[in-house]
Amino acid sequence: METVRFHTVTPFLLLSIILLFAGATHALDSHFGRGSFPSGFKFGSASAAYQYEGAAFEDGKGPSIWDNYTHQPGKILNGSNGDVAVDFYHRYKEDVKLMKLTGLNAFRMSISWPRILPKGKLSGGINKEGVAFYNNVINELLANGITPFVTLFHWDLPQALEDEYTGFLSRKIIDDFRDFVGVCFKEFGDRVKHWITINEPYIFIEGGYDGNAVGNLAPGRCSDRTRCAQGNSATEPYIAGHNVLLCHAAAVKLYRDKFKAIQKGQIGAIVVTTFMVPYSNSKLDIRATQRNFDFQFGWFTEPIARGEYPEIMRSIVGDRLPRFTKEESELLKGSYDFLGLNYYTAIYVAHLSSPNTVNISSSTDSMVQLLAEKDGVPIGKPTGNGFFSYPKGLYDLLVYIKDKYNNPTIYITENGYGSRNNGKDEIEDPWRVEFYKVHLRALLQAIDKGVKLKGFFAWSFLDNFEWSSGFTVRFGIYFVDYENGLKRIPKRSAIWFKRFLQKN
């Protein structure tokens, strides 16, 4: 048996554990806790391989586009990278024990494509060390009563496929993605019963192929030559997005045809959206809000639900938007057993009276102006990373999905509070406690309205590498001491969650 290292258990952690069991924590509503939710409701946290694992070049793993992107000067806010990240690769046993201690009964993780297929292709060989690592993590989770929810693609495309045929800009990606997920289903599907194909395609596509709406992300393509060496923001986001959707459809078909009946699992998709509020009651602003919602949420939700892009996208984008064949449309339609929803913030939307007709891009096609405040008042309580706490938006989104898409099973696959990295001052985080309280209450209201909500995943359990923001932002309920051996220290929010999850 491998010896478990406890070098991350600090005196502060031991003191916090004592406080937890002594009940000396921040006051909690006596009737608000795990028992407020339906039986079987999952409470977990979410993660991504590149943001958590580290070990970027160990045990046979191949490079991903994020390994390449973060090592390019000026791409990451503080010049950091995910080479080590928070070292989950070596510390997963300790972290899983902390999850159990906190009371979580689910964990959303992703599988790194280049850790399984270092060259991106099945013909390039399967990395046995990578398979062994994920087997070990899954087994550790199950041994501690924690259900794994596995994301098959969380942005870390093998660099080899980007080099060979520009990744998602080529339809060749579909066959290689199908091969990759087939290995995952075969190797892990006897224990993994909740699969997610692709995380937040809107963010990955906009950031990777346009860069205006959400900032630059790997592979870092766009029309602006001051920021991107190559790319076309008017066409490439739609091409890449189209192929992402076809990859999703291929994965779902493979699972349903060859694995679902035997393994008896479920497969779904994750969509993300900002909640959008019309800036005024004018018809123009109301229409602009729906239009922008269709360009963000509808872009990827409508195809997997109904087999086609939103009508307004087809009308505005025209020939720049690829079309699905009849067969592709049928494969996409209803291609989920559940929907994952990532939700963080809200924004005001106003009609743009003078649309940009010079620098055409996917981020300007919706012809809107986005505003964080109205009459000098922010739309919600500001967080530390430019987002706003707006729990009503979460409730309204859930009811909208229920009414429009025939009340599907839904999991909140990400929701959390980002704050600027202020060192150990972050350990006392009453603002994060309040954020989770109000959003969990919004979930109860949605459940009371008939929404089939089955679980909630906080982003995130640990502070971690936050993409282009590097280590300048913290989302964790556990503090990771980047200056002192990556020690894990519970924040007030972790202690609150422990007490919340004890309330039956």
In DSSP notation, 389-450 reads E-HHHHHHHHHHHHHHTTS--EEEEE----EE--GGGGG--HHHHHHHHHHHHHHHHHHHTT
The answer on pLDDT for 233 being more than 80 is: yes
The catalytically annotated residue of 162, 200, 206, 236 is 200
DSSP 462: B
- What is the per-residue pLDDT across 292-344, written as a single tens digit (0 to 9) for each? 999 999 999 999 999 999 999 999 999 999 999 999 999 999 999 999 999 99
Distance CA 340, CA 397 (A): 12
In single-letter form, the type of residue at position 234 comes to A
87 phi and psi angles, rounded to 5 deg: 60, 35
Percent of the chain with pLDDT over 90: 90
Distance CA 293, CA 219 (A): 25
CA distances from 408 to 393, 399, 401 (A): 18, 11, 8
Distance CA 457, CA 268 (A): 15
200 is catalytic: yes
- What is the per-residue pLDDT across 166-220, written as a single tens digit (0 to 9) for each? 999 999 999 999 999 999 999 999 999 999 999 999 999 999 999 887 779 999 9
CA nearest to 113, candidates 48, 17, 164: 48
Distance CA 119, CA 8 (A): 34
Distance CA 103, CA 86 (A): 21
Q: Which residue carries 């029309």 as its tokens?
A: 223
At residue 209, the pLDDT reads 97
The answer on pLDDT for 157 being more than 50 is: yes
Considering only residues 11 and 456, tell me which one the structure prediction assigns the higher pLDDT.
456
Q: Which residue carries 């009946």 as its tokens?
A: 261
DSSP 347: E
- What is the per-residue pLDDT across 278-297, written as a single tens digit (0 to 9) for each? 999 999 999 999 999 999 99
The answer on pLDDT for 504 being more than 80 is: no
At residue 5, the pLDDT reads 38
Q: Say how many C-beta atoms besides its own lie within 10 A of residue 79's C-beta.
A: 12
Q: Which residues contact 315 (CB under 8 A, 6 or more apart)?
A: none
At residue 353, the pLDDT reads 83
Mean pLDDT value of segment 393-420: 98
* pLDDT confidence band for 503 (50 / 70 / 90): confident
Distance CA 44, CA 172 (A): 35
Mean pLDDT value of segment 446-473: 98
CA nearest to 460, candidates 443, 475, 479, 440: 475
414 is catalytic: yes
CA distances from 65 to 52, 199, 415 (A): 16, 16, 25
Mean pLDDT value of segment 403-413: 98
At residue 2, the pLDDT reads 35
At residue 13, the pLDDT reads 55
- Indicate the domain borders of the chain: 37-501
First to last CA, the chain: 35
The answer on pLDDT for 361 being more than 70 is: yes
Distance CA 120, CA 409 (A): 32
At residue 16, the pLDDT reads 53
The catalytically annotated residue of 187, 236, 302, 414 is 414
Tell me if the bond preceding 219 is cis, omega within 30° of 0.
yes
Distance CA 51, CA 386 (A): 20
* pLDDT confidence band for 17 (50 / 70 / 90): low
CA angle 275, 280, 281 (to 5 degrees): 105
Half-sphere exposure of 488 (CA within 13 A, CB side): 28
In single-letter form, the type of residue at position 396 comes to D
* pLDDT confidence band for 224 (50 / 70 / 90): very high
* pLDDT confidence band for 1 (50 / 70 / 90): very low
Identify the CATH class of 37-501: alpha beta
At residue 184, the pLDDT reads 98
At residue 354, the pLDDT reads 77
At residue 252, the pLDDT reads 98
Mean pLDDT value of segment 232-241: 98
At residue 391, the pLDDT reads 98
Q: What is the mean pLDDT of the chain?
A: 94
The answer on pLDDT for 228 being more than 50 is: yes
H or E segment and range at residue 306: helix 299-306
H or E segment and range at residue 170: none
Contact by Cβ (8 Å): 124, 117: yes
DSSP 167: G
pTM (two decimals): 0.94
At residue 31, the pLDDT reads 78
